[in-house]
Each structure stands twice: as C-alpha cells, then as structure tokens.
Amino acid sequence: MSNILFNKNYPQEKNMIRPAKPEDAPTVAPLMILALGHIAGIFGGSENPDDGIPFVENFFRQDKNQYSYANTLVYENESGIIGAVTGYDGKLLHQLRQPILDELHKSDPDFYPNDETEAGEYYLDCVNVNASEQGKGIGKKLITAFCEHAFSLGFDRVGLIVDTGNPSAKKLYENIGFQQVGKRDFMGHQYFHMTKEKPTADY
C-alpha cells in the first residue's frame, strides 16, 4: 500500500487522515479490536475481545501482514488518533494472512478460516472510531479516503463484509455508496458482502 497516496488533510477542522506508523500500535490496536469483535477473542484465546489487543499490536508493528501499519490509515486530531481503517488488495489475502495463521497454529493447528475477500477487489478489513468520537462523520471520512486510495491504485471495486446482525453498519456503508452483492460465511458468522464500484468519469 502506498502511504503517500493515503495522505488526506482537513485543515479547517485541525484534523488529519494520515498513514499509520509502527509507533501508533498502542492506540490503533484497541480500535482494531473494536472492529474485529468476536474474531479478536480468537486472537487472545479468550471470550474477552480485549485479550486480543497484544496479538494485534504485535502484528500492527510489523509489515507484510493483514493488520500491519503499512495497510492502515488513521484519523488524528489534537487529542491523538481517534479512528483507523485497514485494508489491502484482495488477491494478497493468503500471503498477508499467513503470518497470522502461523502464530495461531501454535495453539490450534486446525484453525483455517475461509476467505473473506477475493482477487479483483480492494478489501476493507476493519474500520472503527473511538466510542467518544462516534456520530461525528469520522468513520465516513476514513472509508471515503480508503476508497479514493483504492481507486487511485487502479482498482475498480472496494469490497467489505458486514455482520448481518449489524444493520446500522450496513446502513452506513450504503450511505457511502456500497451495495450488497451477496452473503459470506466467515468464522462462524453470516456477513453481507458489499462492494462499491469506481465512479465513471463524466465527459
């Protein structure tokens, strides 16, 4: 992911969307945990998602994995980082997921999740905003910047999955231009598969 293309400023609000850095790990990892939900519990070997924070923080500091800082965009204001979005080229899923699986297989050799994305789409893996800052449009700005980045790289489609039990999240994505194109089973849950197509240039 080209970090240069990830820069986006909002000077009138004194806020900034910028590429993540390894040292952002302590702040971004808890945000990722919020987005990952029950999956975070698997990472921590616990029913408590917060137990997965050290796992995610470790991989965030590294490159070449799906939760890396290199695949992450953060929203920062005068208080610090309050939101983040992470994603990557869908065709690289197996390559980027392998370091995660290698670690999980140390305790569960039979853990092999099915695929949540595919070649041909730029996949939005997780996005979340600090609870105290939600409802201010920050998530929408992060997702919009993520889509703009994907389209600038030459992708025609951005994809994501949203839990069928989370209608408010589905509505948010629909308001940004995503449409439901199917359903996926992933790690014991049912998800809507949603995509947003690259806008057609007007001539």
Query: Residues 159, 121: contact at Cβ < 8 Å?
Result: yes
Q: Tell me: the pLDDT tens digits for 36-81?
A: 888 888 898 888 999 999 999 999 999 999 999 999 999 999 999 9
Specify the pLDDT at position 203.
44
Whole-angstrom Cα distance, residue 95 to residue 59? Answer: 14
Per the listing, tokens 């850095």 go with 21
Query: Residues 59, 68: contact at Cβ < 8 Å?
Result: yes
| Side chain identity, residue 153 | L
CB atoms under 10 Å from CB of 3, counted, come to: 16
Specify the pLDDT at position 188.
81
Query: Residues 71, 153: contact at Cβ < 8 Å?
Result: no
The CATH number of 4-197 is 3.40.630.30
Rounded to a whole number, what is the distance in angstroms from the first to the last CA of the chain?
A: 30
- The alpha carbon dihedral of 133, 137, 138, 143 has a sign of positive
Specify the pLDDT at position 67.
97
- Report residues of the chain scoring pLDDT below 50: 1-7, 10-12, 203
Specify the pLDDT at position 183.
95
